[in-house]
Amino acid sequence: MKTYAGYIRVSTAKQGEKGVSLQEQRSAIEGYAVRNNLAVSEWFEERETAAKRGRPVFNEMLTLLRRRRLDGVVIHKIDRSARNLKDWADIGDLIDSGVEIHFAGDALDLNTRGGRLSADIQAVVAADFIRNLREETRKGMYGRLKQGLYPLAAPLGYLDGGKGKPKEIDPARARLVRYLFERYATGSHSLDTLVVEARRIGLTNRRGEPLKRSALSLILKNPFYIGVLRMGPGGEVYQGVHQPLISRRLFETVQEILAGRVRHVTFAHPFLFRGLLTCGVCGRLLTGELHKGHVYYRCHNRSCVERASAREEEVEKSVRGLLAQVQPTDAEMEVILKLIAHLRAEWNEERDKRRDQLRLQLGQAKIRLDRLIDSHLEGLLEDGVFCRKKATILSEINRLEEDLAALKDDSASSIAKLEKCFELAKTALLTYESGNSDEKRRLVEIASSNRRVFGKNVVVEPSNPFQLLMNRPPVRSRVLEPNPVRTLLEWFTSKEGLLFDLKMEELGL
């Protein structure tokens, strides 16, 4: 007695879960088998699209048919078996080799020339249908992208607002995602330690599972969080209409760290200045060692002509000297606070001028974008060149729009950061003396940049904004030159100033 297989398929997993289409196909095949005295002994059920090749269940069934483990197969319709021509060619080879192929919903005699021709035509129509469907789907997706709408599921930290609506910020997860960006931007975390941090704060994926390293990496690289949509194999970008979750400066800082421009180093021993000191000659990191009750930081580069070595007490002496230098006197603080109050009063006028400049630059950038699109439509630019130039202009537009948005409350926020900076400088030495090991390390990291040892001599240089503070002119007759303070105010609106502010927040300031 001949044995036959029954093959049923749905295009999506959701259709398979509902089960209606699968049940209807199975019922039709069973009815066809009864009417034609066919014994269906084995069923093959697939919940995958046939638009692309590689269906595992379908391929398994073809293998059994080729090996003659089955005499034939009953399929619901031609479009259930083959919606691409290569799969139809495989079925045609089976028919030519004598395998029985039956279609319950199509009255075709595949053993005749007319029946095969009709089946071939239906297979071509089915293949054309799926190509057209794919093209229309692609058009719909790109149409949404041009409107600034993301056509896929919302990234972590956002919620789907509904069809034709922008993604909405997730009130439960958004602050946690933003926190991870901020932590990574400080340079104090690797992806592995950030995974641990994500678990500590309770951030999970949509299924409630802990985030993996790969998923966290994709989040940190996704420009969606700054309002930019990136789609397609070429990475074409579009301006989104959803609310950004983080600033462009913060995102760019994270990208620099991910690209390897900032190196993470893991140390086995909790020495106070571990990973913070370098040899002034060869530039290698100094290694902390405990010797006769004292901690030494030494260069272990054998080719170094002058291998540095300094006791921890000497390093602390240099750090304290630096923090004492940046500390303003009471007279300076009195003048500085008056000057900040004056700047606060006149900042609105300067802010309006800055807003006009940004609006002019934004308008010019949009004009350049329109001209670029027109050139592309006229065929004057290749796709690759167009995508690169478009991405550059969109990046500029995003930056300008972000700067414009920041000006809404910049009068308060920037001056507040400036006041916080002077307060830190005023109390830096006291904060260092009274802090624990981690607090001391963070203060050293933000207050200094180059920390080098030449032989036994320790040289600690201030970082911005402490360098600006050290270069301030002395107070004479309670008059302070406003330029250093104004320069600091402008510096706090830069990317470097943003990173410094994040580090100050780590110290609880």
> CATH no. for residue 219?
3.90.1750.20
In the prediction, which pLDDT does 296 show? 93
> Is residue 220 domain-resident?
yes
161 occurs within a structural domain: no
H or E element, residue 450:
strand 448-454
Mean pLDDT of 313-319: 93
Q: Is 57 exposed, middle or buried (0-12, 13-18, 19+ CB in 10 A)?
A: middle
Residues 109 and 181 in one domain: no
Band of the pLDDT at 500, cuts 50, 70, 90? Answer: low
Residue 315 placed within a domain: yes
Say if 401 falls within a structural domain: yes
pLDDT of residue 446: 80
How far apart are the C-alpha atoms of 36 and 6, rounded to whole Å?
14
For the segment 447-469, the average pLDDT, to the nearest whole number, is 84
- What pLDDT, on the 0 to 100 scale, is given for residue 20? 44
**Does the structure show a pLDDT above 60 at 241?**
yes
Residue 79: pLDDT band with limits 50, 70, 90: low
Same domain, 418 and 482: yes
Is residue 300 a part of any domain in this protein? yes
Is the domain of 418 the same as that of 307?
A: yes
Question: What's the pLDDT score for residue 260?
Answer: 73
Q: What's residue 509's pLDDT?
A: 47
* Residue-level pLDDT at 314: 94
Q: Yes or no: say if 161 and 170 are a contact pair by the CB < 8 Å rule.
A: no
Residue 417 has pLDDT above 60, yes or no: yes
Is residue 342 predicted with pLDDT exceeding 50? yes
Query: Which residue is listed with tokens 């083959």?
Result: 82
pLDDT of residue 123: 75
Q: Which range, of 2-11, 390-399, 408-417, averages the lowest pLDDT?
A: 408-417
Side by side, the strands of the sheet bearing 100-103 are 40-46, 4-9, 72-75, 100-103
Among the listed ranges 34-48, 416-430, 476-490, which one has the minimum average pLDDT value? 476-490
* pLDDT at residue 425, rounded to an integer: 81
Range of the domain at 126: 4-140
**Are residues 324 and 353 both part of a single domain?**
no
Residue 343 has a pLDDT of 66
Residue 13 in tokens: 């997993």
Helix/strand number for the chain, H first, E second? 18, 14
Q: What is the pLDDT of residue 490?
A: 57
Residue 355 sits in the same domain as residue 319: no
Q: How does 268-297 read in b/e, with b if 16+ C-beta sit within 10 Å?
A: eeebbbbbbbbbbbeebbbbbeeeeeebbb
Average pLDDT over residues 100-105: 84
pLDDT of 54 above 70: no
The arithmetic mean of pLDDT across residues 349-378, rounded, is 85
The stretch 324-330 carries a mean pLDDT of 83
Helices (H), 19-173: 20-35, 56-66, 78-81, 85-96, 113-146
The average confidence (pLDDT) of the chain is: 78
pLDDT digits (tens, 9 = 90+) for 260-290: 765 544 444 568 888 889 999 988 889 888 8
Residue 312 confidence (pLDDT) above 90: yes
Asked whether the predicted pLDDT for residue 204 surpasses 80, the reply is yes
Residue 118 located in a structural domain: yes
Q: In this structure, are 136 and 185 located in the same domain?
A: no
Q: Report the distance separating Cα 464 and Cα 481, nearest Å.
A: 19
Share of the chain above pLDDT 90, in %: 10
Would 100 be classed as within a structural domain? yes
First to last CA, the chain: 85
- Hunting for tokens 């046939």 — which residue is that? 50
State residue 229's pLDDT score.
87
What value does the mean pLDDT take over residues 168-194? 86
Does the pLDDT of residue 331 top 90, yes or no? Answer: no
Tell me the two tokens of residue 38: 């066919």
Do residue 211 and residue 68 come from a single domain? no
Q: Is residue 153 part of a domain?
A: no
Alpha-carbon span 220 to 258, nearest angstrom: 8
Please give the full DSSP string across 69-106, using - where no structure is assigned. Answer: SSSEEEES-HHHH-SSHHHHHHHHHHHHTT-EEEETTS
pLDDT given at position 232? 67
Q: What is the pLDDT of residue 505?
A: 56
Specify whether 308 is located in the same domain as 418. Answer: yes
- Range 388-417 average pLDDT: 74
My answer on whether 318 and 362 are in the same domain is: no
Q: Which residue has the higher pLDDT, 53 or 322?
A: 322
Tell me, yes or no, if the pTM score tops 0.85. Answer: no
C-alpha to C-alpha distances, 456 to 63, 307, 312, 460, 462, nearest whole angstrom: 76, 9, 11, 13, 20
How many structural domains comprise the chain?
Answer: 4
Average pLDDT over residues 326-335: 78
- Which SS3 state, helix, strand or coil, does residue 8 take? strand
Other beta carbons less than 10 A from residue 424's beta carbon: 23
**83 shares its domain with 101:** yes
Average pLDDT over residues 166-188: 87
| Run of H or E including 389 | helix 383-406
What's the number of CA atoms in the CB half-sphere (13 Å) around residue 481? 9
Same domain, 28 and 94: yes
Both 16 and 34 in one domain: the answer is yes
Best CA proximity match to 61, nearest among 83, 91, 17 = 91
| CA–CA distance, 366 with 388 (Å, rounded to integer) | 16
Read off the pLDDT of each residue in 196-225 and give the average, rounded to a whole number.
89
- Alpha-helix runs per DSSP H in 230-329: 248-258, 312-326
- Say whether pLDDT at 76 is over 80: yes
Lowest mean pLDDT among 218-227, 314-323, 461-470: 461-470
As a whole number, mean pLDDT of residues 156-182 equals 88
Q: How confident is the model at residue 483 (pLDDT cuts 50, 70, 90)?
A: low
Is pLDDT larger for residue 440 or for residue 471? 440
Q: Of 195, 223, 258, which marks where a domain is finished?
A: 258
Q: Which has the higher per-residue pLDDT, 241 or 421? A: 241
